[in-house]
């Protein structure tokens, strides 16, 4: 059996920057087992590998593709950089502007601009802020090189199984102090939300840029680093970027809040991630607004193509 594949670098237009992704195209008559998909993902050894099934033949103008997303150890309900990389690859190859990916987390509507070579995806979300948070003492144990520790760092899930400790730091120089080894944060997740992984997402809020197209009064600029003990540092994490943007936007007055997030600088793989959060009404006594929609945006560039022989 021979399967065609491409690799792309995501959240960049420059080869060998951004976050690498492998995309495996499955012919109509081919069925792979979970074990086979996991083996292939391990072989590529990227943060994620995507398996794309043939589109619905009755949806040529707005095709729908079923996709499976695997890390080297498990399948994910969805992930940001695989969605953007796959969207750019599939839609640009067919000169299309719209499509849909069917993920385990639900359908993801896509748009693609051929002139800017950027895709946008309406990201599945069920924002949950956990009761527990990471204390400054616990963070000091995990990151002893930092010079200052926030008193608490919230634990936020964008969907079940994808949870992040959001650690706000004071400056980019402080962000550079973050080290990439050590244990994951041992924080108790709420009942029913204690599945999947927990990543450490460090961020620094920069001065707000000029007003954008949304209603949020200008683009929020953020520098980030994502650390997970079993994989080390990740150059671009779309799901974490969406979780952070949603968490910060929920305290805004309303409308659409835009974020430009730069990640991967310390790795030499700069990634440029855009997130738009559309807000709804205030949630009861929480003094936070409901997140109506999250749109993740970015580019990708193809690096390799070939055949995978099984």
pLDDT digits (tens, 9 = 90+) for 231-246: 789 999 999 999 999 9
Is 277 a residue whose pLDDT tops 70? yes
211: pLDDT confidence band, cut at 50, 70 and 90?
A: low
Pairing of strands 197-205, 220-228: antiparallel
- Per residue in 19-76, pLDDT (tens digit) is 999 999 999 988 999 999 999 999 999 999 999 999 977 767 789 999 999 999 999 9
Q: What is the dihedral of CA 92, 90, 246, 253, to 10 degrees?
A: 40
Domain formed by 2-120+299-309, architecture: Roll (3.10)
**Is there a common fold for 2-120+299-309 and 128-297?**
yes
Question: Distance between CA atoms of 87 and 216, rounded to whole angstroms?
Answer: 27
Burial classification of residue 251, based on how many CB atoms lie within 10 Å of its CB (0-12 exposed, 13-18 middle, 19 or more buried)? exposed
User: Can you give the residue ranges of every domain in the chain?
Assistant: 2-120+299-309, 128-297
According to CATH, the superfamily of the domain at 128-297 is Diaminopimelate Epimerase; Chain A, domain 1 (3.10.310.10)
pLDDT at residue 185, as a whole number: 79
- Per residue in 257-271, pLDDT (tens digit) is 999 999 999 999 999
Return mean pLDDT, the chain: 93
- Model's pTM, two decimal places? 0.94
13: pLDDT confidence band, cut at 50, 70 and 90?
A: very high
pLDDT at residue 182, as a whole number: 67
286: pLDDT confidence band, cut at 50, 70 and 90?
A: low
Q: What is the dihedral of CA 284, 288, 290, 293, to 10 degrees?
A: 180
């Amino acid at each position: 059996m021979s399967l065609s594949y491409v690799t792309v670098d995501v959240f960049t237009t420059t080869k060998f920057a951004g976050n690498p992704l492998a995309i495996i195209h499955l012919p109509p008559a081919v069925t792979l087992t979970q074990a086979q998909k996991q083996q292939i993902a391990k072989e590529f050894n990227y943060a994620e590998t995507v398996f794309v099934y043939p589109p619905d033949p009755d949806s040529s103008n707005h095709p729908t593709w079923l996709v499976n997303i695997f890390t080297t150890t498990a399948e994910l309900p969805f992930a940001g950089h695989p969605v953007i990389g796959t969207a750019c690859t599939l839609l640009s190859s067919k000169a299309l502007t719209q499509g849909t990916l069917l993920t385990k987390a639900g359908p993801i509507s896509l748009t693609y601009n051929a002139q800017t070579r950027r895709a946008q995806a309406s990201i599945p979300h069920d924002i949950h802020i956990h009761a527990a948070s990471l204390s400054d003492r616990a963070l000091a144990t995990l990151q002893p090189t930092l010079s200052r520790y926030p008193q608490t760092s919230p634990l936020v899930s964008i969907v079940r199984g994808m949870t992040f400790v959001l650690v706000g730091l004071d400056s980019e120089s402080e962000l550079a102090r973050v080290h990439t080894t050590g244990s994951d944060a041992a924080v108790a997740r709420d009942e029913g939300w204690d599945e999947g992984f927990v990543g450490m997402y460090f961020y620094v809020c920069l001065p707000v840029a000029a007003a954008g197209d949304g209603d949020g009064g200008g683009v929020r600029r953020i520098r980030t680093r994502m650390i997970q003990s079993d994989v080390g540092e990740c150059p671009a994490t779309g799901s974490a970027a969406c979780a952070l943007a949603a968490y910060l936007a929920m305290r805004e007055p309303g409308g659409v809040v835009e974020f430009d997030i730069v990640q991967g600088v310390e790795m030499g793989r700069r990634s440029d991630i855009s997130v738009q959060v559309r807000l709804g009404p205030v949630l009861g006594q929480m003094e936070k607004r409901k997140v109506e929609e999250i749109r993740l945006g970015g580019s990708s560039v193809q690096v390799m193509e070939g055949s995978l022989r099984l």
